[in-house]
């Protein structure tokens, strides 16, 4: 099967995308849900395919770019707007995120790029980067408190078999 060149395996409501229906990307998530938030806005989590970033249903070396923006909060009410909007990490979050990195690199083509987004609201970035043996290439902090990090990795020969 031919896939678009980009995979977003934890797309949520596609908040960061300029075009939420960009045909160059395959949008996946473990959830498919619709909500009305407390301020009346609609929140739609509608992936192209249901998938679990811990066990991606693709062959090795399939995508040129993978965007990995997993849930980043552990403490939130599943019924509250933050839990609905961002998703909530479970009790096995260390193993889940480790498996997510492993899977994202597995489906990434050699020479491909992984963009990782993390918000340090509850868990520091340094703890998360320790979950993968792959070395980041560069990154950037954003947000009001500079707590959101955009990290870029490249799958090189050295990282391909890790």
Region of poorest pLDDT, from 22-31, 82-91, 111-120, 126-135: 82-91
Task: Compute the distance between CA of residue 53 and CA of residue 44 in angstroms, rounded to an integer.
Answer: 19
**DSSP-assigned beta bridge partners for residue 153:** 114
Q: What is the pLDDT of residue 57?
A: 98
Is this prediction's pTM over 0.85?
A: yes
- pLDDT band, very low/low/confident/very high, at 160 (cuts 50, 70, 90): very low
Task: Compute the distance between CA of residue 44 and CA of residue 20 in angstroms, rounded to an integer.
Answer: 11
Task: Compute the distance between CA of residue 30 and CA of residue 11 in angstroms, rounded to an integer.
Answer: 9
Question: Which pLDDT tens digit goes with each residue over 99-111?
Answer: 999 999 999 999 9
Strands (E), the chain: 6-8, 25-29, 33-36, 42-45, 49-50, 63-68, 108-119, 138-142, 148-154
Question: Which pLDDT tens digit goes with each residue over 113-138?
Answer: 999 999 998 999 999 999 999 999 99
Question: Which pLDDT tens digit goes with each residue over 34-67?
Answer: 888 778 888 899 999 999 999 999 999 999 999 9
Domains, the chain: 6-160 (3.40.50.150)
* The pair of three-digit structure tokens given for residue 75, joined into one six-digit string: 């403490």
Is 148 or 80 the better-scoring residue by pLDDT? 148
Task: Compute the distance between CA of residue 10 and CA of residue 69 in angstroms, rounded to an integer.
Answer: 6
């Amino acid at each position: 099967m031919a896939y678009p060149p980009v995979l977003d395996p934890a797309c949520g409501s596609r908040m960061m995308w300029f075009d939420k229906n960009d045909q160059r990307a395959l949008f996946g998530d473990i959830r498919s849900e619709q909500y009305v938030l407390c301020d009346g806005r609609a929140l739609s989590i509608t992936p192209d395919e249901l998938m679990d970033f811990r066990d991606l249903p693709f062959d090795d070396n399939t995508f040129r770019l993978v965007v990995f923006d997993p849930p980043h909060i552990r403490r939130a009410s599943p019924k509250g707007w933050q839990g609905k909007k961002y998703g909530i990490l479970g009790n096995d979050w260390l193993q889940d995120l480790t498996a997510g990195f492993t899977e994202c690199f597995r489906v990434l083509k050699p020479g491909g790029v992984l963009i990782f987004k993390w918000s340090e609201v509850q868990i520091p970035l340094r703890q998360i980067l320790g979950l993968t043996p792959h070395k980041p290439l560069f990154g950037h902090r954003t947000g009001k408190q500079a707590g959101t990090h955009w990290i870029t990795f490249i799958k090189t020969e050295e990282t391909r078999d890790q």
